[in-house]
Amino acid sequence: MKKNFKFVIMFGLMIFALITCGNKQEDAKDAAQSANGDKKIKIVTTTTMLADLSRVIGGDKVEVEGLMGEGVDPHLYTASAGDVDKLSKADLIVYGGLHLEGKMTEVFENMAAQKKAILNVGDALDKSQITMQDANTPDPHVWFNTEFWGKEAEALTAKLSEMDPKNADYYKQNYEKYKTELAELTEYVKGRINEIPEKSRVLVTAHDAFGYFGKQFGLEVKAIQGVSTDSETGTKNISDLANFIVERDIKAIFVESSVPKKSIEALQEAVKAKGKEVKIGGELYSDSLGDKEHDTESYIKTVKANADTIANALK
User: How far apart, in whole angstroms, are the C-alpha atoms of residue 77 and residue 81?
Assistant: 13
28-42, 99-113, 117-131: segment of lowest average pLDDT: 28-42
169-178, 224-233, 260-269: segment of lowest average pLDDT: 224-233
* Confidence at 232, pLDDT banded by 50, 70, 90: low
For residue 273, give the 3-state DSSP assignment.
helix
- Please name the residues in contact with 277: beta carbons below 8 A apart, sequence gap of 6 or more: 271
* DSSP category for residue 278: -
Q: Is the CB of residue 157 less than 8 Å from the CB of residue 174?
A: yes
According to the model, what pLDDT value does residue 229 have?
A: 60
Give pLDDT tens digits for 145-155.
999 999 999 99
Helix 168-193 vs helix 299-314: crossing angle, to nearest 10: 0
Q: 120-129: which pairs have CB atoms within 8 A and are 24 or more residues apart?
A: 120/95, 120/96, 121/50, 121/94, 121/95, 121/96, 121/97, 121/152, 121/155, 121/156, 122/96, 122/97, 122/98, 122/152, 123/97, 123/155, 124/151, 124/152, 124/154, 124/155, 125/151, 125/152
Average pLDDT over residues 253-269: 91
- Please name the residues in contact with 74: beta carbons below 8 A apart, sequence gap of 6 or more: 46, 47, 68, 96, 100, 101, 287, 288
Neighbours of 112 (CB within 10 A): 13
Average pLDDT over the chain, rounded to whole?
88
Give pLDDT tens digits for 68-92.
998 898 988 999 999 999 999 999 9
* Confidence at 296, pLDDT banded by 50, 70, 90: very high
Give pLDDT tens digits for 114-130.
999 999 999 999 999 99
User: How far apart, in whole angstroms, are the C-alpha atoms of residue 45 and residue 65?
Assistant: 6
CB-based burial, 290-308: b 16+ in 10 Å, e otherwise: bbeeeebebbbbbbbbbbe
134-138, 186-190, 215-219: segment of lowest average pLDDT: 134-138
Q: In this model, does residue 24 exceed pLDDT 50?
A: no
Q: In this model, does residue 282 exceed pLDDT 70?
A: yes
- What is the amino acid identity at position 32? A
Average pLDDT over residues 187-194: 98
Q: In this model, does residue 182 exceed pLDDT 60?
A: yes
% of the chain residues with pLDDT over 90: 76
pTM reported for the whole predicted model = 0.84
